[in-house]
Chain A
């Protein structure tokens, strides 16, 4: 395996960078979209049921099938992969964001509302800091799931560490497969660790234990 790394380290590095890029970009877009949808769903209660049902439906589609479905419209490559990942993440993120806001004590939200600081200030200064630990928890799950699914995106020419895995399987090269597995797992564990540090920190802040 070391021999392989020595020979192709620049290609492996490119795959790793692609993998990171795919994960970060799709998580970023997923989060912004899910957050916006959650805020709307909180104001119009009926919408949350519709949104969740819709995205649970999407989540049930196997990743290969979803890619196949999107390719005729968006072609091969990274944009299609990112779109699919964003769609998958919605159900995980919207659910956890809604639950996170629900976990803010109603007396606290009501006190903020009754003060007259306005919707945005109430959200930014009171509800969000208190909901943040649970939101980050959801983000962590979505990130781990994305880092896994993103390997499948290698099949539609999106690059990333999945290339190692599929090449390895095709050519029966166990070194490649092991390397791919080790890299994907370490990368995912690293993200998991980083996000759980943030999560713990935000929890201390929310509790007033700075």
Chain B
């Protein structure tokens, strides 16, 4: 059973020495390969602790964490960490190394072929949309905050890990650039099918990025579900609070169109939008033309999902 999960928490707790309450309490969740999990919570919710226990930056005080079916405490920490990319808020770039050396540090330490590594660095820089010729010899202080995080993501990807842990990576980036980085991260996730765990305190970010959202409060998991179900949940008062006391339509607007769509059935007809479109775009279409009952979500020009007017405006 444990083997189908990429990462599994079994009754995991963390009690820090100088604190009364546990930072994480009896957490049991399974994360499937390829999921993009956002961990949402305020400060002191234990969200970062959950993340850092996976690569043993923090050691759990109780319970078991499995990585690909193996108890992580039985694995050698450095070996485990090499299979997990790690991106943190203040980028953690090494200020005394060029962009290229930052990204190449792990393969260089493992004495891998230098030429291949340099080629890999170029490939990764292009992936995070930094022109290698222009950026590889720069030092971190010569980069903007957004560019630093791009390099940090490239560095985390260098060993082609199956899992990426990201601790509020875009927390200190201004709004416009943040949205750009979020979109690119989504693309990277889609392109490579990595399993991503992403800590954030930003509701929009959690909803926009996650395939599932873990909502944490005071070390206890409140809800672990799709963005749609978290947003529309009315039973859990805490979830309602963190999501905000907005009207339902405004909550819906935080979702992507696909979150409430159903599989496309032959015969469905209506205007087409891209599969990644935000809910706002679908709303605009429904609002601007009363005759539109269905919107077709297409991927590579192929219809994949259907979003019905009923799904978002009437049925709840």
Contacts and interface: CB of A to CB of B under 8 A. Distances in A.
B120 to A, nearest CB: 15
Given A118-B109, A126-B94, A110 B80 contact: no
Contact of B78 (A105, A107, A118): A118
16 contacts: A107-B89, A108-B95, A110-B88, A111-B92, A112-B92, A112-B94, A112-B105, A116-B77, A116-B79, A116-B81, A116-B82, A116-B106, A118-B109, A130-B94, A206-B96, A207-B96
B136 to A, nearest CB: 14
A133 to B, nearest CB: 11
Given A107-B89, A107-B90, A130-B96, A115 B141 contact: no
A105 B139 contact: no
A117 B92 contact: no
Interface residues of A, number: 22
B78 to A, nearest CB: 4
B312 to A, nearest CB: 41
The 5 lowest CB-CB distance pairs between A and B, nearest first, are: A111-B92, A208-B139, A116-B81, A114-B86, A116-B82
A108 B141 CA distance: 14
A115 B82 contact: yes
B2 interface: no
B97 interface: yes
A125 interface: yes
Label chain A's interface by main secondary structure: helix
Interface string B58-92: 00000000000000000001111110101011111
B55 interface: yes
A207 B98 CA distance: 11
B93 interface: yes
B81 A208 contact: no
Nearest to A113: B57
Nearest to B141: A208
Contact of B105 (A107, A125, A130, A209): A125
Nearest to A112: B94
Nearest to A206: B96
Nearest to B101: A125
Contacts of B93: 108, 111
A98 B142 CA distance: 29
Contacts of B86: 111, 114-115
B303 interface: no
B141 A207 contact: yes
A23 B278 CA distance: 71
Interface of B: 55, 57, 77-82, 84, 86, 88-98, 105-106, 109, 139-142, 152, 155, 165
Given A115-B82, A116-B81, A117-B78, A108 B92 contact: yes
Interface in A153-210: 205-209
B86 to A, nearest CB: 4
Given A125-B109, A208-B141, A116 B78 contact: yes
A205 B106 CA distance: 20
A77 interface: no
Interface string A80-114: 00000000000000000000000001011011111
A205 B96 CA distance: 6
B220 to A, nearest CB: 26
A150 to B, nearest CB: 34
A105 B141 CA distance: 14
Contacts of A113: 57, 81
B88 A107 contact: yes
Given A107-B91, A108-B93, A207-B141, 14 more contacts: A105-B90, A105-B92, A111-B86, A111-B93, A112-B105, A114-B81, A116-B82, A117-B109, A118-B78, A118-B109, A121-B109, A206-B96, A208-B98, A208-B140
